[in-house]
Amino acid sequence: MAGLMERPSGNLAPSESAVTSEGLATQQAAESQALEQLLSTRSPQRPQRTPTFYVEIDGKQLEAFEGQTILEVCRANGIEVPTLCYDPKLPGFGACRMCVVDVEGCDAPLISCSAKAEPATVIATQTDRLREIRRTNLELIFSDHNAYCLPPCQNKCPSHIDIPGFLKANAESQFRESARIFKRTIPFPSILGRVCPAPCEDHCRRDEVDEAIAIRDSHRYAGDQVLKSMWDENIDPPLPFELQPKTGKRVAVIGSGPAGASAAFYLLVAGHDVTIFEKDPEPGGMLRYGIPQYRLPKIEVLDGEYQSITRLGGRFECGKMLGRDFTTADLKAQGYDAVIVAIGCYDTNDLGIPGEEAEGVIDGLDYLHTAALGLEYPNHEGSRVVVVGGGYTSMDCARTSIRLGAKEVTLVYRRDMKDMPAADEVHEMIEEGARAIFQAGPTRVIVDEKNRVTGLEFIRMQLGAPDASGRRRPEPAPGTEFIIECDRILKAIGQGPDMTWATIGADGVSATKNGRLKADAVTFQTGRDGVFGCGDVRNGATTVVASIADGRRCAYAADAYLQGLDLGEIRNRQTLAEPQPEFLSIVPFTGETKEPRLRLKALHADERKHDYIQYEIPYSKAEVMAESTRCLQCTCEAIGFCDLRRLGIEYGTTLKTLEKDHQNGAGFRSITENRWTGANHDYVRDDSHAFILREPSRCIDCGRCANVCAEVVGAACYDFMRTGFDTLVTTPLDMSLNESPCVSCGRCAETCPTGALMPKPRLLTKYEVDESRCILCGICVDACPYDALRSGFDFELAHTDRSEPMIDLIALAKIERTSEATFIRGESNWENTVAGRRHDPARALPVLPSNLRGK
Amino acid sequence: MKQIAAPKGWAQLLLTPPATPWAALRSVLAAGPAATMQTLIDAGLRGRGGGGFLTGEKWRITATSDAEVKYAVANGYESDPAVFTNRLLLEKNAQAVVEGLAAAALAVGAREAFIAVRAEYTEAIRALEAIVHNAERDGVLGANVLGSGRELYMSVRPLQGSSMIGEETVLLKALAGKRGQPEQTPPYPSTVGYLGKPTVVNNVATLAAVTWIISNGAAAFKQIGDPAEPGTALVQISGSLTNAGVMEVPTGTPLAEIAAAAGGPAKGATIKALLIGGPSGGFVPANLLASTPYSGGGLATVGAHIGSGALLAIDQSVAIPELAAMLTRWCADEACGKTIPCRIGTRRLAEIGQRFVDGLAGPQDVQKLHALAADVADSALCAHERLTPSPLLTGMRYFEREFVPAGVAAEKSGAVVGRSE
């Protein structure tokens, strides 16, 4: 032992004279000689350098090594060649046929993952023909891809909230986490929980089982919990992302409505200094002055939600109006690095009829604004009011009039009730005592000799051909005029932005021909550098949720501008970051238990119609959890990581999912519909394994899992099974992974290009190792796909060489496991084996194609 | 299962056992590998499996590969279930096949050789095993081949499973005990084959021809058939002809002559077309039969190929779309499932074809079929998917009137539209 511990007496031993410079030189020479010897003896047969040569790819001369495949040369030089079955750890497999390239002199395209690069070849990776072949391949995959990407609710939300995500958190009573998920795309869960028209609920797939989920009411509860803890215990609301360090950049946001506040919030999170200018005495814009108190309580909810801005350091400067008190140029002069214009739409459209200027014809927004300020229109009590319009503003006008004591309130809308934007609220208005008349349009205002309103003449409308919005166009029916006597007329037929400020010191900023602010749809830039526009001023009057979505995207664009990034590139990134609505299909839900939706209770109309109190009674904790549990979680776990989806978007293989008149008006188009639509497979999900979730319907049979499992891990759990169209990469006999030699390493899920194999979400967060029983076999170190476990210093004491496999994983796996033979003989009841718990046999049974299952 | 006697004057060389067993092997040992391969190149022998590569050249690539271990394989796995040319050959003339394989192994430097046979061909397997066993017992094969000091172990390997095993890269995987899926070529098996080693793979008919050439000389062989691809081929004749069975046909014989040699049309039948090449073959219409020679090059010009060696005569009662869709569907079902264009694409081809049969085809379907067939062929991994569209493509080329989209009135021309009654 002592001999082993001594230094060898050769050249490397330090001599006594090592301190002298001469000795040092001798020693260095000896060392380099020893190093040379070591290098040359280790690999005498291997040439020091692999021969290189040049190939021409897409017009560029690129260096390639002998033995490299064309794909490897492309990857090494940053040329994108699409692949689905290629795994860098393995030799080219050639199953997906996506990596086809043209090589000059070859008749048919070559498969670049297998074809070796040869000197002086000329290669093209992106010809029209190649793109066509790849597109056909992708379409063929999609034609048998009985799966979906995003749930329809998330698609239809203008801001694309992760709805299954927050509902899941709700169901686990993690309301703070739920609100945090919500805040990733919309900062104000409580506000939206009250005022959102909830386009998501119209497309909820729970509707196929029983009724749509109350998505809006569910996030309302989560948001209210956060507000409650903020008011009661002064706990800051959760932040959606990590707060970025201060950048020192200053941003001015003009307008504190939904768009402006949303932009300000995300800019604050990004670390910028934000000041918000507001023309009214209090921040909130339409949220405060357009939406009445009974729908959105101003102090508890609106002020509370806006605290998430002030708590991040955002400042409101109220009473300052763009164009009156300052211009965009002034702001730039004051040192603001970017300006966001989000002033909304405040100019009510005119009726365009004679007598409109008469006394008593009131702008609906002005009316709401006055009411919100607590002022009253003189002589309103006991008056007869006619509201013209069918949007949410007209509802607010009518219901506020009732609350202000009007004797008679009539709402007139020119189209049918079902075409009304606020169709979901009209019954509440009628309950409170208003009258609604449909299919009538105003023709002239009747006035007395003092030019005061005494009535309004209408003409009946008949419904013509559908217009661009899909609704039938109203056309006047001659000779059907009638008059409604009234004292007040409230105009609520839509709004446009006030763009008069654009000419005052705002060079470059211009308006579109519709009178809106001209700003790019992705980068939000106006004509003037550093000035952005978002929200209603850009889009015309829309919903709160659409404005907030616009504000968020605008904040990202402004942040990129402040970081000095290329906004042209941001355009691509933004387009990719936003979910594309083209991807979804309808997978039937057959086995779900029916549980009807829990509806919000409300105060009786007689109790609520004289009062501004919030009349809806929110959920209890048990109710919100029960309602959230109804969510089918119909989202693909691989979204964002899926190569198939990425390539599908890139190659334009998908069709619009919602098309009018498609399939006799059903409208939905599934992911499997394209040129090659035909028979397809519907396999059963296998969640019997503790770590790996298998969803064979999403499998594209690329074989990566089979190759990685066999070649890298050595377990060989998967292979291609069956033949022809029914081929599927799966376990033998479609058995559970628990029955296979699986070592739970997760490499199959790691390599899967789609969501067919996924790491299973687990509640377990920490493992304990019983060191008294560990035999230091190192299998955990080998198997860990994320290098979370490593060999430490103590392993160095081992005398065996780890490069030689000590343990045959397959042999190990066979021990105490069911073999194929015992499995067939039924010696193991494999339905029961997972952690001793009884499994749903329908789920644990082998996955069979639907066409075989019935037989 | 019978052999049809060929007309006088047609050379017959494959189905008659060599006069003196092992004479060819002795000549190979005497002449040495280089001279043997040169003889085959001089004879112009080309692969019978459809590749059409010069057999001598193929051997030379394996022979010159830098590897210690090499293999030789005889491919007697007949994929087409309606064809038994290989079976007849192995039952009647196993000797020539074994001798040819031994010659190949010795020429390329392989010490091990396999004869892959369909497991159903029990009689052929028995004949082959008897020859191999006796040869090892007599010192013809084994540790010291005919006293030359060379080593050669041969074994008969019955295989069964999918029809894809006929493809050579699939065959090699099946021999290695793996799932029968093709590999990307190049590299061809000549350099990377069985267990990754250089492997010469020849069809059993090619090997039988090798034995004949060594015994009778390259010049004699070159005289037979089409000068570009000399020799004979075993043709499986079936359908509406008077005689059915296997006939040995010199290459380059016009199709009309083959049909006549098989006794002409069956009683009361009029030949409408011949399907040449098996399930993935092509239709050759009656008017082209006289001008089309039975050779690789000749058939390629009309969209067909020698393929499995099948020749199916079709009479007027058969609807081309129905037959083509059925064949395509068979090919789609037999696909190994490795590549996407093959697994899904060929199935979609069959579905589109079936729409013509059911009268459900849309106006776009003809164009769709062409587009998909081209895309499948261009991104194909092996010959199976490249050739699967052939029946539909040739059917549409020559019998366009029968492929009628729904809603279009069929011409009253006697054509059987869609489905035959």
* CB contact (8 A) between residue A703 and residue B338: yes
Greater confidence (B155 vs A689) lies with: B155
Q: What's the average model confidence in pLDDT over B275-294? A: 95
φ/ψ of B275, rounded to 5, equals -100, 115
Which among B179, B333, B339 has CB closest to A95?
B339
Cα torsion at A570, A571, A576, A579 (round to 10°)?
A: 110
Report the CATH number at residue B153.
3.40.50.11540
Centroid of chain to Cα A218: 18
Nearest Cα to A746, choosing from A764, A761, A732, A735? A761
Closest among A374, A755, A330 to A506, alpha carbons compared: A330
Do residues A727 and A714 lie in contact, with contact meaning Cβ atoms separated by under 8 Å?
Answer: no
Residues B185 and B42 placed together within one structural domain of the fold: yes
Cβ-defined contact of B348 to A143 (cutoff 8 Å): yes
Q: Would you give the DSSP letter of residue A471?
A: S
Give pLDDT, residue B235.
95
Q: How many CB pairs under 8 A join A and B?
A: 107
Neighbouring-strand partners of residue A315: A275
Best of B334, B338, B384 to mutate (most A CBs within 10 Å, chain A): B338
3-state secondary structure of A61: strand
CB contact under 8 A, A100 and B379: yes
CB-CB contact of A519 with A533 (8 Å): yes
Domain contains B12: no
In this prediction the ipTM stands at 0.91
**Is B344–A676 a contact, with Cβ atoms under 8 angstroms apart?**
yes
CA distances from A699 to A182, A483, A730, A758, B311 (A): 31, 66, 9, 11, 40
Residue B13 belongs to some domain of the structure: no
Task: Please give the residue of chain B at the shortest CA–CA distance from A703.
Answer: B338
Nearest to A108 among B344, B372, B378 (CB): B378
Query: Could you say which of B203, B222, B241 is where a domain stops?
Result: B222
Q: Token digits for A748?
A: 């199959």
Q: What is the 3-state secondary structure (H, E, C) of A105-166?
A: CCCCCEECCCCECCCCCEEECCCHHHHHHHHHHHHHHHHCCCCCCCCHHHHHCCCCCCHHHH
Shared-domain flag, residues B355 and B206: no
Residues B116 and B175: beta-carbon distance below 8 Å: yes
Question: Is residue B331 one of the residues assigned to a domain?
Answer: yes
- Chain A residues within 8 A of B339 when measuring between CB atoms: 94-97
Helix or strand (DSSP H, E) at A250 = strand A250-254
Q: Is residue B17 in some structural domain?
A: no
Nearest residue to A121 via CA among A70, A173, A157: A70
Supply the CATH classification number for the domain A692-853.
3.30.70.20
Sole residue written with tokens 């007869």: A384
- Asked whether residue B88 falls in the same domain as residue B201, the answer is yes
Residue A725 to residue B334, Cβ atoms within 8 A: no
Beta strands B199-203 and B232-239: pairing type?
unpaired
**β-sheet bridge partners, residue A222:** none
Q: Distance (Å) from the C-alpha of residue A806 to the closest C-alpha of chain B? A: 24
**Residues B98, B208: Cα–Cα separation, whole Å:** 8
Integer Cα distance of B194 and A561 in angstroms: 60
Q: Which residue of B has its CA nearest to A137?
A: B341
CB contact under 8 A, A97 and B333: no
CA distances to A14, A17, A25, A624 from A11, rounded to whole Å, are: 8, 13, 13, 78
Give me the pLDDT at residue A683, please: 86
Contacts of A136 in chain B (CB under 8 A): 341, 345, 371-372, 375-376, 379
Question: Is A531:A256 a contact under the CB 8 Å cutoff?
Answer: no
Q: How far apart are CA B219 and CA A169, in angstroms?
A: 84
Q: Using the beta-carbon criterion (under 8 Å), do A722 and B336 form an inter-chain contact? A: no
Q: What is the pLDDT of residue A844?
A: 38
A133 closest CB neighbour out of B162, B336, B379: B379
CB proximity B2 to A under 8 Å: no
**Domain A152-238+585-629 adopts which CATH fold?**
Fumarate Reductase Iron-sulfur Protein; Chain B, domain 2 (1.10.1060)
pLDDT at B298: 92
| Residue B162 near chain A (CB below 8 Å) | yes
**Tell me, what's the pLDDT at A99?**
93
B207 with B255, same domain: the answer is no
- Minimal CA separation from B366 to chain A, in Å: 12
Bond prior to A292 in cis (omega within 30° of 0): no
Question: What is the predicted pLDDT for the residue at A762?
Answer: 54
Give B-chain residues touching A115 at CB under 8 angstroms: 184, 186
Q: What is the mean pLDDT of chain A?
A: 80
Nearest to A753 by CA among A138, A110, A128: A138
**For residue A293, what are its two tokens?**
């108190």
Domain spans, chain A: 2-42, 56-126, 152-238+585-629, 250-345+529-571, 347-496, 692-853
Coil, helix or strand for A76? helix
Q: Are A522 and A570 in contact (CB under 8 A)?
A: yes
C-alpha B299 chain-centroid distance? 14
Asked if the Cβ–Cβ distance from A97 to B379 is below 8 Å, we say yes
Output the six-digit token pair for A660: 């009018």
Mean pLDDT of chain B: 91
pLDDT in tens, A642-687: 888 888 877 877 554 434 444 443 334 455 567 788 888 888 888 8
Cβ distance of B341 and A137 shorter than 8 Å: yes
Say if the Cβ atoms of A725 and B378 lie within 8 Å.
no
Which of B266, B299, B315 is the C-terminal boundary of a domain? Answer: B315
Q: Are residues B108 and B151 in the same domain?
A: yes
| DSSP for A525-577, written as a single string | B-SSTTEEE-THHHH-S--HHHHHHHHHHHHHHHHHHHTT--HHHHHHHHHHH
Name the residue among A100, A111, A676 with its Cβ closest to that of B348: A676
d(CA A827, CA A838): 17
Are residues B84 and B180 both part of a single domain?
yes
**Ramachandran angles phi, psi of B274, nearest 5°:** -115, 135
Residue labelled with tokens 């509201």: A387
A344, A540 in Cβ contact below 8 A?
A: no
The C-alpha atoms of residue A429 and residue B160 are separated, in whole angstroms, by: 77
Determine the pLDDT at residue A471: 76
Q: B315: phi > 0 → left, psi -120 to 50 → alpha, else beta; which?
A: beta
Is B415 domain-assigned?
Answer: no
Residue B383, domain CATH: 1.20.1440.230
- Collapsed DSSP state (helix, strand, coil) of residue B338: coil
| Distance from C-alpha of B129 to C-alpha of A663, rounded to nearest angstrom | 63
Residues B215 and B288 reside in one and the same domain:
no
Residue B401, chain A, CB below 8 Å: the answer is: no
> Would the CA dihedral through A284, A288, A291, A297 be positive or negative?
positive
Alpha-carbon distance B30 to nearest alpha carbon in chain A (angstroms)? 38
What pLDDT, on a 0 to 100 scale, did the predictor assign at position A679? 84
A interface mutation test: which of B344, B370, B382, B386 has the most A CBs within 10 A? B344
CATH number at residue B267: 3.10.20.600
- Domain assignment of residue B412, yes or no: no
Give chain A positions within 8 Å (CB) of B347. 678-679, 724-725
The distance of A724 to chain B (nearest Cα, Å) reads 4
DSSP A452: B
Which residues of chain B have a CB within 8 Å of the CB of A137?
340-341, 375, 379
A129 interaction partners in chain B (CB closer than 8 Å): 378
Do B251 and B382 belong together in one domain? no
Q: Mutating which of A69, A725, A726, A730 best tests the B interface, going by the most B Cβ atoms within 10 A?
A: A725
pLDDT at B420: 62
Q: Do A144 and B344 touch (CB under 8 A)?
A: yes
What's the rounded Cα separation, in Å, for the pair A713 and A398?
70
- 8 A C-beta contact, residue B222 and residue B56: no
Looking at residue B242, its pLDDT comes to: 94
Q: Contact A678/B341, CB-based, under 8 Å?
A: no
Whether residue A328 contacts residue A322, with contact meaning beta carbons closer than 8 Å, is answered with: yes
Same domain as B118, residue B254: no
In angstroms, rounded to a whole number, what is the distance separating the alpha carbons of residues A797 and A800? 9
Question: pLDDT digit string (tens) for A252-262?
Answer: 999 999 999 99
* Contacts with A140 from chain B: Cβ below 8 Å: 340-341, 344-345, 348
Q: Does B326 touch chain A (CB under 8 A)?
A: no
Token duo for residue A855: 């037989």
* Alpha-carbon gap, residue A162 to A633, rounded angstroms: 11
Name the residue among A413, A356, A352, A362 with its Cα closest to residue A383.
Answer: A362
The Cα A31–Cα A680 span in angstroms is 68
Strand, helix or coil at B127?
helix
pLDDT at A833: 43
Q: Tell me the pLDDT tens digit for each residue of A812-821.
A: 444 444 444 4
| Closest chain A residue to B349, measured at CA | A676
Q: Which parts of chain A sit beneath pLDDT 70?
A: 1-23, 35, 37-49, 503-506, 569-592, 654-673, 761-768, 783-855
Q: How close B346 gets to chain A, by Cα (Å)?
A: 8
Choose, out of B346, B375, B384, the residue to mutate when testing the contact with A (most A CBs < 10 Å).
B375
Cβ contact, residue pair A94, B371, below 8 Å = no
Range of the domain at B357: 320-402
Are both B78 and B186 inside the same structural domain?
yes
**The pLDDT of residue A826:** 40
Residue A363 pairs in a beta bridge with: A491
Q: What are A467-473's contacts with CB under 8 Å, separation 24+?
A: A470/A660, A471/A415, A471/A419, A472/A415, A472/A416, A472/A419
pLDDT digits (tens, 9 = 90+) for B26-83: 999 999 999 999 999 999 999 865 557 899 999 999 999 988 999 999 999 998 989 9
Architecture of domain A56-126: Roll (3.10)
What's the residue count for chain B? Answer: 421
What does the pLDDT read at residue B91?
94
Say yes or no: B344 contacts chain A, CB-CB below 8 A: yes
Domains A250-345+529-571 and A347-496 share a fold: yes
If asked whether residues B189 and B302 sit together in one domain, one would say no
The CATH number of A347-496 is 3.50.50.60
Name the architecture of domain A250-345+529-571: 3-Layer(bba) Sandwich (3.50)
Residues of chain A contacting B370 with CB distance shorter than 8 Å: none
CA distances from B74 to A276, B199, B204, B206, B253 (A): 83, 10, 6, 9, 27
Q: How many domains does chain B have?
A: 3
Instruction: Report whether B381 contacts A97 (CB < 8 A).
Output: yes
